[in-house]
Structure 1
Amino acid sequence: MGDKSRPDRTYPPLSNEILERVDRAWEALEGGYLEEAGQDAEELMEETDEHPEVRFLLGAALLESGFPGESLEHLLACEGQVDDPVIHQFYLASALFDNLRPEDAEALFKAVLTTDPDAAPAHYGLAQSMEFVGRYAEADHHYERAHELEPEDFPMPTRMTEQAFEEVVHEALQDMPEELQPHIQKVEIVIEAMPAVESLAGEPGEDPITPGVLGLFVGPSLREGGDYDPVSLPPRVYIYQRNLERLCGTREELIYEIRLTVYHELGHYLGLTEEELEQRGLL
């Protein structure tokens, strides 16, 4: 699975000073200081002639920062060349998942679990990979296992029947802010269990949309001339039920997030920026 275009090369051991900086960067990454970790990794890449251990760090930082395409390139390039191959497998599996390759991700998450059957993050990642391709019963088994192992870090998804979910969406539409009411008839609202792979693929050279996306607006906004055009498809909002269920720990939280997602995506139809959405209380 690695990058076979790169010739094999031998790297000298990293100095203690560099190793300490790498460790500090990992600590920053694990502590949520993503920008700091990424900057440290970039500097270390230059100083170490792109050493595999540093490339691994950079790939992990890019993944956590929302750049799955670049992350995957770096993680593939250092495959088989790092001191902790199991942790590398986990990050590589996660990057493959975010790059819309759930089958490849599943294989690597399973490889991690072969080595460490009680790795809760790998169970959770495996569940997401299975869920993305519609294997819901298998996915729920691994969500349960992750929750058993680390209940605080991996809460169980809050499930809701399709009918109940649709009712919450319908009520959200009825209760829409006044500024959105005149436009609702122009937008088709589609509820799906999970997003389709083709709906998440980005333009060439762009990162795909994350498989965990809660909702998606497709079509022209009002500012782009979003009135009905018989030649093009009408504006459409997708709401993804299982992604929302996974996000929420209680039914009350799920209802809130469903409504928020509906308003958020319809706000995009109006052509509002993230800042404008926030100012109107839609984020």
Structure 2
Amino acid sequence: MLPFPNIDPIIFSVGPLHVRWYGLMYVLGFCACYFLVQYQIRKFKFKELEPHFENINFILILSVVVGGRLGYVLFYNLDYYLQHPLQIFATWSGGMSFHGACLTLIITGAISTHKYRINFWKAADVYVATIPIGLGLGRIGNFINGELFGRTTDVPWGMVFPSGGPLPRHPSQLYEAFAEGLLLFLLLWWCKEKPWEQKKAWPHGSILALFLIGYGTIRMGVELVREPDPQVGYLLGVATMGQLLSTVMVAGGSILWLLRSRQTGKRSGEGGQA
């Protein structure tokens, strides 16, 4: 058994203001996305996105926060928030859903790119290739907070979490940080140029589809050792909410892959909203 490091979730405080590791991870994730998307804009000469990058970036950051919070409210604890509606705004108390953030990102991204006459599929590909960095950092924040831990286990690397009882548990946050973060980023970053190649190119939108399939598959796997949210438990007696939402995500990504594959050879990224 490994000892839980018990890192103080608060980095420092100034009066009533607390700067937390979890919040810092969000900031670092947004910064990484900002610079890596800029890098791709220059590399791929994505000139139609360049003049609107700052506006779209702001909209997408807001979408992550708002969508992540509303997703948690709707998917994981609706009864509680119906009784305590003001707590919806208390984001500092925890409760964010990546599935909610992902859905909101796709919707607001589609609206924004339509408004600015930018190809949605091209923009989606350059952004989603960077998202796993934020996911990995966010899971490290979860680990520092001692939340979203795994189920009880007897593996040598099991940990006793402060709020998880006396038995060792899987450090599932670290599994997700490695798989959803590092591995998925390496895969998407390696594939990111394929839609831009002149010969045998993947159609634009392929990186988005690959992300949906990859994240959903990884999340379904990790949920097998992650403790279900106590207020939700198992749905249909066998699956967690995360597994059900991820199943929808994988199905959507697979359908998108098939639909966009029909565009192979048509150079779907050339102008308009292909």
TM-score range, shorter chain: under 0.3
Considering Cα pairs closer than 8 Å and 6+ residues apart, tell me whether 1 or 2 has the greater RCO.
2
- The alignment's TM-score, normalised by the length of structure 2, stands at 0.26
- The alignment's TM-score, normalised by the length of structure 1, stands at 0.25
Greater Rg, structure 1 or structure 2?
1
